[in-house]
Every structure is written in C-alpha cells, then in structure tokens.
C-alpha cells in the first residue's frame, strides 16, 4: 500500500550520529576554505570546479545562485567573490551525477519519500522530463511536447483560471520571471505566490508604507562608510558570508557594529577573511562591538526602550534627533512622540530580555552616531508582528535622520539570489494597478485586477479544492511552507502538480493525482538557443541589475531553460487565444528584455546597460530622500508590543538554518559554527530551561505546538544546551515546519511566523524509545 501524502511530506524521524563540540567564536578562515574545497572535490568534476570558482560573481561571469548579497562595483578579488556556502551551492547545482528514466524505474515515489532530504538532494541532477500517472507508483519519462500538452489540457479544463496556482522560488532570472508572470496573467489569474511571501514580504510591506519603496536604501559603499551598522535577526556567516567582508571594511574605516540576536552567532563575533592571507594566519577581526542577546520577538520592545531614552535625552540636552530632517522629510512625528509616551521604559526593557548594562552600551552607540545602517533578515520578518518590527526600526532611523544620506539607511538582506528581481519584473500576487495597465497597453489583454493567492491563501485554496493545479517555478513548496501535513493534503487534492526543477526534492514526491517534473538548466550552465548562448539578468539585494551567463555544458541534452519552459507551456496552453508570439522569446532573450524595458520602470536601454561590467542601479527614491509614500514624506508609525504570553511550560521556538543547508537543500549534516556534527534533529535550549524539565544533554524529546485548539507534533529531537535566552529555543527548518501553524502569520504581509512558534517539549520515556 502506498504511504499517505502526510507521511511522504514529513522528514524521516531517525537519528544520524550526533557529535558536538564547543561552538567556535571565529568564523570563515581556514576551516571554511577546507569545507568548500571538500564539497567541490566530492561532488563536482575537478575541471568544472575550477571553471566555476574563476567565474563565480565575476564581471561577465555568472551570478552565484546562493544568496542575494551584492558584488563590489569596483575591483573583485581573485578566487572569485567567493564564499564557502557559494561553493557549496555550486557543488550542489553542478553535481557530476544525473538521474533520469533508469533511476525512477528503480525507485518508487514511496521509497524516495523515505529518504532523508540530504539523500534526496544528493541523488543527482534531473536529466529528463518525467510524468507520474494517476495511481502510478513510479515516474516515467515523457517528451517535452507531451508534457506541455498535459499542462495545457489541465489548465484549460479548469472552471476558472483562478483555480490554478503558479508559485515561484527566487532563483528564476528576470527574463524567465517576466515571461512567467506574463503567461499567468494572460491565462487569466493573479495567483502568483512566491517564496518572498515566506521571506521578506513583511519588509516590503513596512518599507513601502513608511519610505515609499519596498527595497532597502543602501549601497555597499554606504556600508563601508557607516558609523554604526546594526545587524538584527540575521546570521551572515552562514547565510550571507560575503557580507562579513563589508562589515570588516566598515570597521577598518572606524565604524562600529552592533548585533541583536538571541544567539551569539559565530560570524557576528569574529571573522577571518578567506581572501586575506595575513588574517588567515593571525586570527581575524573582531566584528561585533556590542552584542545584544535579545529574547525571541523582543525587538519592538528593545527599539522602543531605545526610542524612549533618546527622546528623554533630547528633552534634556537637545541635539539627539535630526530636527531638520524630521521637519522637511517626515510625517507623523508628533503622533509618534505622544504614542511613545504611553510606554514605560522598564516594561519595554524587560520585554526585550536585555540587561540594563548591555542596553546602555547599545544606547550610547546609537546616541553618538548619526550615520546608521540597520541590516536585517528572517529574525525580524517571520513573526506575527513582523511588519511592526520593521516599521519600528524605520522610526529609529528617521529619528536620527539616518536615511537617504551617505553611510545610512535600510538594508533588508534578501535571501534567494534573484528574489528581489522577480518581484521587480512582476512576480506579485498583488501587483499595483499601474503595472497591470502597462501590461494591457503593451500586449492588448486585460490582466485580472483581482489580487491573487499568496502562499498561505494558495495552500488553503488547494486544501479546500478551490485550486486544482499547482505549478512551481523552482523551489520546494512542501518543505518550505508552514504546516507541512496540512499542506501535503492540499497538494494531494490537486489534479496536477508540476515542478520546474534542477534537483529532486520532496515536493516531487507529495503530488496531485498526476504530476510532472520539468528539469531545467541551472545558472552555471550554458543556455544554447537559436541566436547563440543566452545571457540573463538578476537583481541583487541592493537593486543592482547585472548579467549572468553559464560556463559549464548542460548536465543533459534533454533539459531546457526556464524561459523555454514558459514559452512551451504558454504556446501549448493559450494556442490561438494568445496575443503574444510566445515562441520568439526563447530564441533571443534580448526580445524579453526589450519588453521588460517597456513595462517596468527603471530598465531604459536594458540591453545595452546590461553590457556594463558591474551592471546598473535601479531607481531608488529613499536613497535620495524622495519618499514616494501616500503622504509624500517618510512616515513615522505607531507600533504595539507583541501580545502573546507563554503559559507554564511553554517555550518560544525559532526555526533557523544550519550552516550546511540552503533552505530545503541539505548540503550536509553539520552546523559547524554551532558545534553540531552529523545531526539535524536537535533542539537548542537554555540550560536553566533544561534543568527545570530535568532534561539531560542529548535527551530525546518530542515537540508539540498548540494553536487555536489544534495540536501539531514533531517527533525525535535531541536536546542541546546552548547560549540562548531563557524560554527560547531553536530548531532547524524544514524538520519542524510541521509545527508552524498555517494561521500564525504576520499581519498585512502574511509571512508565516516561523520564528515564533509556541511549543512544549516532552521527554520520550525509555519504553517508547525502544
């Protein structure tokens, strides 16, 4: 009997062979080089590995499919603008193994679902299109033509175009993303959920409302020139390693760094630049001047405490706030000040979990510096009050006049390498009407003005059988989304699930009645088309658009580009209903860019500007104090302290990344910077919280979350005593996504609150273990 969708969606509950060490204080350095080389040698052909490391993030090379951190505009170091996790990302994509018909004949879907995510990922690159027929146990090869026909038949059989969901992960290039959303809109729906919904959506909401642009305002150069950089809710040594080079440069120029994080993450403490041989020998740079060990979701409280003290000081001594800036460029200051007066400093400090001593150090750094940048990532965006988190940090910057000038501003550090670009070119379930009007003017069809499903809405719609076809452009939906078991049923309710992918993942195994895997080229591979090898483009975290061109031969002759997938699917689905000559685009991507230029602001002379070696900056009003908000000014906002309270025995859990994973892709089983080896099913706990519960180191426990009366469980985790504030704990994503309630999400943005999941931890009795 075949296992249920829920069983297939869960990560296997067995243990590996856990070893622990004291977490190191230093990051990167020699161990990082060793780890990177180890991965490259193990999974890639040596010649490919060399080609890749010379071209990664180089001008005229290809953009690393790892994170979205920008490359320097000027000189780029030899060895590539490279980092350990960039090399791991490449080793993952440019694997020397491929899987196709034979592999899938040998392994049933059920069997593969029993493999760990690590084993699934290491099976190899997908090398041909595959089809899972209704009731079948194994995927079988299918031709591209038949695959496109299948998609078209299913889509055209729907009662309404709104019964299909078109997901996007953030690796898709501008060209593929633009065509994809164009197809979806011509097909007739706005159902374009994307990984951003689970990632920086709260940043986009908060920044658009307060500063008039959903992106950050700073450039790399600003980071070098800042007097103070605050890194909040972010673990750069693992997730954006090249950011540490920028922080090091900032420090060299006299800047200070403050980190606000429940965990003393290794890279925040000390960093050894892998490109600096002297530093490799002498042991690195101390990065953080003040480390603030905040309680999970204590950020609004902490910033409020700072704001209260800054205004007190202003009243006594003056000269603290930037009056000129506030008067000329902001709106809502008086309301903000009177609202702040309703809060008490001690209450806020207590809610933040920070000691008065550390608060004072942080306060003085902010008081004494006026060029401040705040960087943040998932530690701020994945809470119910995520939008408040970001609006409150904007309040702090506005008060100090720290926006729209050199060395100051907002820096939401994006995740996927082109997640920002995808949104810019139209992957947006609630795209502004002005954008839709431009599509209508250019192509002559009227895009649906109705907002489509975000990720959470899409899951519900599939669960309720309102949506019946799921199409994923990249990503690993079932493992990335909250509430894994509910989502599994949602996908299983579909008539067809389709994934455009480079690698096998769990989403291919938790299917609708029928399923397709459409294998595509990765960033590192040459994209041969009729007019020659194609160049594509991406936008990084700081709004720079640059070209990317693969250097390796494709891993199989039967895989095609994402652009070609969209063109083939659009042609087969829309037939003579279309107003667009779909097949022309895949022959020449210049045509796609030509269209983007006409529809999206900021892309004038796209094709020629893309030839500039460092790419080009998109317009950014906030960078120049041109705030395109409803009031025409930068808006102060009023934010509340979070309301949730722990009951006796409960802990608040954040689901985070280990050092050896890229989201749901598991590179390996270690988390070197936290001293964890060979295991992912662990829970980091404060030692006092362990003692209260009578837990020993490596005790095996089950985790339970209860939300609105529904209990969710995750089994078999080993307890690790760790330097984490009391009442807080941490586990790895995606193993604990089963515990994240679908209905616990950020107001306005709908980002799942996967950094504040309230749980209980229960010891497993020895009898149950055996």
Ligand X SMILES: Nc1nc2c(c(=O)[nH]1)N[C@H]1C(S)=C(S)[C@@H](COP(=O)(O)OP(=O)(O)OC[C@H]3O[C@@H](n4cnc5c(=O)[nH]c(N)nc54)[C@H](O)[C@@H]3O)O[C@H]1N2
Site of interaction with ligand X (CB under 6 A): 65-67, 85, 169-171, 195, 198-199, 232-235, 238-240, 260-263, 265, 294, 296-297, 299, 377-379, 382, 415-416, 473-477, 480, 500-503, 505, 520, 522-523, 562, 654-657, 661-665, 733, 737, 740, 754-755
Q: Which is nearer to ligand X, 173 or 629 (CB)?
A: 173
Q: Which residues fall within 8 angstroms of residue 647, CB to CB, at 6 or more apart?
A: none
Given Mo ion, ligand X, none, residue 600, with its beta carbon under 5 to 8 Å by kind, binds none
User: What CA–CA distance (Å, rounded) separates 382 from 750?
Assistant: 9
For residues 145 to 184, the per-residue mask of contacts with Mo ion, x marking binding by CB under 5 A and - elsewhere, is ----------------------------------------
Minimal distance in Å, beta carbon 385 to ligand X? Answer: 10
Q: Which does 508 bind (CB under 5 to 8 A by kind): Mo ion, ligand X, none?
A: none
Q: Does 67 bind Mo ion (CB under 5 A)?
A: no
Alpha-carbon span 362 to 364, nearest angstrom: 6
Q: With CB cut-offs between 5 and 8 Å by kind, which of Mo ion, ligand X, none does residue 661 bind?
A: ligand X
Q: How far is the CB of 65 from ligand X (least distance, A)?
A: 6
The distance of closest approach from Cβ of residue 278 to ligand X in the complex, given in angstroms and rounded to an integer, is: 26
To the nearest whole angstrom, how small is the minimum distance from the Cβ of residue 377 to Mo ion?
Answer: 8
Q: Residue 330 or residue 664: which is nearer to ligand X going by CB?
A: 664
Between residue 411 and residue 450, which ones bind Mo ion under the rule CB under 5 A? Answer: 415
State the residue number with the nearest CB to Mo ion: 415
CA distance 62 to 548: 4
Work out the angle at residue 80's Cα, subtended by the Cα atoms of residues 75 and 83, and round it to the nearest 5 degrees: 115
Q: Please, which residues bridge with residue 757 across strands?
A: 653
Neighbours of 346 (CB within 10 A): 11
d(CA 253, CA 226): 9
Q: Which is nearer to Mo ion, 173 or 699 (CB)?
A: 173
What burial class does residue 134 get, using C-beta atoms within 10 Å of its C-beta: 0-12 exposed, 13-18 middle, 19+ buried?
A: exposed
Q: How near is the Cβ of 419 to Mo ion at its closest, in Å?
A: 6
- Choose between 35 and 399: whose C-beta lies nearer to ligand X: 35
Most distant pair of Cα atoms in the chain: their distance: 77
**Residue 509: contacted member of Mo ion, ligand X, none (CB under 5 to 8 Å, by partner type):** none
Compute the least distance from the CB of residue 663 to Mo ion, in Å. 7
Residues in region 179-218 near Mo ion by CB under 5 A: 199
Rounded to the nearest whole angstrom, what is the least distance from the CB of residue 167 to ligand X in the complex?
Answer: 7
Instruction: Concatenate the DSSP letters of all residues of 76-128 into one string.
Output: --TT-S--HHHHHHHHHHT-S-EE-HHHHHHS-HHHHHTS-HHHHHTT-EE-S
Q: Which does 27 bind (CB under 5 to 8 A by kind): ligand X, Mo ion, none?
A: none
The two three-digit tokens of residue 589, written as one number: 């991507």
Only segment of 80-88, 407-415, 595-603, 675-683 that touches Mo ion (CB under 5 A)? 407-415
The CB-of-631 to ligand X minimum distance in angstroms stands at: 29
Q: In what order do the strands lie in the sheet with 544-548?
A: 536-539, 544-548, 616-617
- Pick 179 or 321: Cβ nearer ligand X: 179
Residue number, 171 or 625, with CB nearest to Mo ion: 171
C-alpha distances out from residue 535 to 168, 210, 550, 596, 615, Å: 21, 36, 8, 15, 13
Torsion sign, CA atoms 583, 588, 591, 593 = positive
Nearer to ligand X, 95 or 664 (CB): 664
- Report H helices in 168-298: 174-187, 201-211, 220-225, 236-239, 242-252, 266-269, 277-282
CB of 606 to ligand X, least distance (A): 21
Q: Which residues contact 226 (CB under 8 A, 6 or more apart)?
A: 250, 255, 371, 372, 373, 407, 408
Beta carbon nearer to Mo ion, 231 or 469: 231
Taking CB within 5 to 8 Å according to partner kind, which of Mo ion, ligand X, none is near residue 474?
Answer: ligand X
Sign of CA dihedral 225, 229, 234, 238: positive
Q: In whole angstroms, what is the distance from residue 197 CA to residue 185 CA?
A: 19
Residue 363 beta carbon to ligand X: minimum distance, rounded to whole angstroms:
17
Residues that bind Mo ion (CB under 5 A): 199, 415
């Amino acid at each position: 009997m075949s296992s249920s969708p829920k069983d297939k969606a869960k990560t296997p509950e067995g243990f590996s062979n856990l070893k622990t060490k004291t977490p190191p204080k230093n990051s990167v350095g020699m161990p990082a080089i060793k780890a990177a080389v180890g991965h490259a040698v193990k999974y890639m052909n040596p010649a490919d590995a060399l080609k890749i490391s010379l071209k990664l993030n180089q001008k005229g090379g290809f953009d690393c499919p790892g994170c979205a951190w920008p490359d320097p505009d000027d000189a780029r170091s030899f060895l590539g603008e490279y980092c350990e996790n960039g090399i791991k990302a490449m080793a993952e994509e440019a694997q020397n193994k491929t899987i196709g018909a034979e592999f899938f004949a040998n392994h049933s879907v059920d069997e593969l679902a029993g493999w760990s995510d690590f084993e699934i990922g290491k099976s190899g690159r997908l090398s041909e299109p595959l089809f899972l027929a209704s009731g079948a146990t194994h995927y079988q090869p299918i031709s591209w033509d038949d695959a496109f026909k299948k998609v078209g038949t299913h889509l055209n059989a729907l009662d309404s175009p709104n019964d299909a969901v078109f997901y996007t992960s953030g690796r898709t290039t501008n060209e593929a993303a633009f065509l994809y959303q164009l197809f979806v809109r011509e097909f007739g729906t706005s159902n374009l959920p994307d990984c951003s919904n689970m990632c920086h959506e709260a940043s986009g909401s908060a920044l658009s409302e307060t500063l008039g642009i959903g992106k950050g305002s700073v450039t790399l150069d600003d980071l070098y020139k800042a007097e103070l950089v605050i890194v909040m809710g972010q673990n750069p040594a693992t997730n954006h390693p090249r950011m540490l080079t920028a922080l090091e440069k900032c420090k060299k120029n006299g800047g200070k760094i403050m980190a606000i994080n429940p965990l003393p993450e290794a890279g925040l403490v000390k960093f050894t630049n892998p490109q600096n041989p002297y530093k490799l020998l002498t042991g690195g740079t101390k990065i953080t001047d003040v480390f603030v060990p905040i309680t999970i979701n204590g950020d609004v409280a902490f910033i409020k405490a700072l704001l209260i003290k800054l205004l007190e000081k202003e009243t006594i001594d003056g000269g603290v706030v930037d009056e000129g800036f506030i008067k000329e460029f902001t709106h809502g200051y008086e309301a903000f000040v009177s609202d702040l007066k309703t809060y008490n400093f001690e209450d806020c400090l207590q809610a933040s979990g920070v000691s008065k001593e550390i608060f004072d150090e942080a306060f003085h750094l902010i008081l004494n510096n006026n060029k401040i940048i705040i960087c943040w990532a998932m530690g701020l965006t994945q809470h119910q009050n995520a939008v408040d988190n970001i609006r409150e940090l904007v309040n702090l910057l506005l008060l100090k006049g720290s926006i729209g000038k050199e060395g100051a501003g907002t820096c939401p550090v994006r995740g996927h390498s082109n997640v920002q670009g995808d949104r810019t070119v139209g992957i947006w379930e609630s795209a502004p009407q002005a954008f839709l009007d431009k599509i209508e003017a250019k192509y002559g069809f009227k895009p649906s003005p109705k907002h489509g499903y975000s990720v959470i809405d899409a899951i519900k719609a599939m669960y309720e059988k309102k949506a019946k076809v799921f199409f994923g452009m990249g990503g690993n939906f079932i493992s990335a989304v909250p509430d894994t078991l509910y989502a599994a049923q949602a996908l299983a309710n579909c008539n067809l699930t389709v994934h455009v992918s480079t690698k096998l993942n769990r989403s291919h195994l938790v299917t609708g009645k029928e399923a397709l895997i459409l294998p595509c080229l990765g960033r590192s591979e040459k994209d041969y088309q009729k007019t020659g090898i194609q160049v594509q483009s991406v936008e990084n975290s700081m709004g720079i658009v640059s070209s990317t061109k693969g250097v390796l031969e494709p891993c199989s002759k039967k895989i095609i580009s994402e652009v070609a997938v969209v063109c083939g699917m659009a042609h087969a689905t829309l037939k003579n209903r279309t107003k667009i000559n779909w097949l022309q685009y895949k022959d020449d991507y210049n045509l796609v860019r030509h269209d983007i230029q006409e529809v999206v602001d900021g892309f004038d002379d796209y094709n020629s500007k893309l030839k500039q070696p460092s790419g080009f900056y998109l317009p950014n009003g906030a960078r120049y104090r041109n705030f395109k908000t409803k009031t025409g000014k930068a808006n102060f906002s009023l934010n509340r302290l979070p309301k949730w309270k722990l009951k006796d025995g409960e802990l608040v859990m954040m689901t985070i990344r280990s050092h050896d994973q890229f989201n749901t892709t598991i590179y390996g089983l270690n988390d070197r910077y936290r001293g964890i080896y060979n295991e992912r099913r662990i829970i980091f706990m404060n030692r006092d919280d362990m003692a209260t519960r009578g837990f020993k180191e490596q005790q095996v426990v089950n985790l339970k979350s209860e939300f609105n009366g529904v209990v969710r469980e995750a089994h078999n985790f080993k307890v690790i005593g760790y330097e984490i504030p009391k009442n807080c704990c941490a586990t790895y994503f995606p193993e604990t996504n089963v515990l994240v309630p679908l209905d616990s999400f950020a107001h306005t943005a709908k980002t799942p609150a996967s950094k504040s999941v309230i749980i209980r931890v229960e010891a497993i009795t020895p009898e149950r273990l055996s």
